[in-house]
Amino acid sequence: MRITYKGDYALKALLDLAIHYELGVSTINDIAKRIDAPVKFLEQVLLDLKKGGFVESRRGNVGGYQLAKDPAKITLGQVIRFIDGPIELIACVEKNYSNCADLNRCVFKNIWQKVTKATADIVDNINFAQLVHQVKLKKNGFVYSI
Amino acid sequence: MRITYKGDYALKALLDLAIHYELGVSTINDIAKRIDAPVKFLEQVLLDLKKGGFVESRRGNVGGYQLAKDPAKITLGQVIRFIDGPIELIACVEKNYSNCADLNRCVFKNIWQKVTKATADIVDNINFAQLVHQVKLKKNGFVYSI
DNA sequence: ATTTTGTCTACTATCCCTATAAACATAGTA
DNA sequence: TACTATGTTTATAGGGATAGTAGACAAAAT
């Protein structure tokens, strides 16, 4: 798998919203400015994140976006998989794959599974509360560039 | 990163050549049949592998391909990086990347680096001699489907 | 009513993936 | 020499994904 720009923006937007978790909604424009993303593209990303249940929105004059749940309940792995797809390096070890002649005899499969597990062990054990904490630790003249 | 069909064919072709290491050259057609790959596509893959120094070739009537070095000297990581590019999940942690506003302050960078290391620890420590050995262990009515 | 926001649907340019095709070069063999 | 079996090279093409951009629409507050 590969983290695309879309995935990158999604993670940054969520971290941004996690940092402002207690402060209510942020507008797309504000988020875009803070994380340096193209506004119209970020629109789509946020829409997707809403469909995924990661954020919620309010329209109108004082509208905007905010996290839909506690930052501690959102892991990196959840977001990556939702936006950019499976973390597997190759389709043959993804769930419900049935296109291989004889997968059980394949000496590569075992390797791809190991890599998948190693990656999952990392991204599934980091949540946005931890990230916010790390951001705050970095306050050496912190100017908010994620 | 992602293992493409090209990378998949490259790995299978090299394993095939590693299995036939002592037997001299194999033709593209033979390799293609054994690993079940489209011949014309496999041509390009083998050409690339030759440029990468993994295989060597002989033209003409009794021509074909063979490994350019001891299977034990070829790791999965070398092949993957050469055919499919860097194993990093995202460009910002690749070598010589300089497009980020403030990479040292980015809380994500550390995570991408961990994932990269975990993956590298696996693919850089497996060579084709080991794979051949594993293939031979699987001889329960072995029909040669890698 | 107006303004400020989010929502939705298209559209586009570029690149990458996965081949396929055709012409050519080389090295054995008859 | 002529023929054939191989690898070499370049070009091309369809499909899909990526990374946006544009514009009309809907809702909520004032």
Task: Assess if residue A146 is contained within a domain.
Answer: no
pLDDT averaged over every residue in chain A: 90
Task: Assess if residue A55 is contained within a domain.
Answer: yes
- Domain tally, chain B: 1
Task: Assess if residue B42 is contained within a domain.
Answer: yes
Distance of alpha carbon A12 from alpha carbon A79, whole angstroms:
11
> Tokens 């908010």, residue?
A144
Residue A145 in this model has a pLDDT that exceeds 60: no
Structural domain of A87: 5-137
Residue A138 in this model has a pLDDT that exceeds 80: no
Tell me the nt nearest to A9, Cα to C1'.
Answer: D19
Instruction: Residue B52: give its domain's CATH number.
Output: 1.10.10.10
A28-42: per-residue pLDDT in tens? 999 999 999 999 999
Task: Assess if residue A143 is contained within a domain.
Answer: no
Task: Assess if residue B61 is contained within a domain.
Answer: yes
Strands B55-58 and A64-67: unpaired
- Report CB contact under 8 Å: A112, B3: yes
Chain B residue set in contact with A, beta carbons under 8 Å = 1-3, 8, 11-12, 15, 36, 76, 89-90, 101-102, 105-108, 111-112, 114-115, 118-119, 121-123, 126, 131, 134-135, 138, 142-143, 145-146
Task: Assess if residue B47 is contained within a domain.
Answer: yes
Find chain A residues with C-beta within 8 A of B115's C-beta.
118-119, 122-123
pLDDT averaged over every residue in chain B: 89
B23-47: per-residue pLDDT in tens? 889 999 999 998 989 999 999 999 9
Range B1-10 burial, b when 16+ CB lie within 10 A, else e: bebeebbbbb
B43-94: per-residue pLDDT in tens? 999 999 999 999 999 988 989 999 999 999 999 999 999 999 999 999 989 8
Task: Assess if residue A90 is contained within a domain.
Answer: yes
Task: Assess if residue A130 is contained within a domain.
Answer: yes
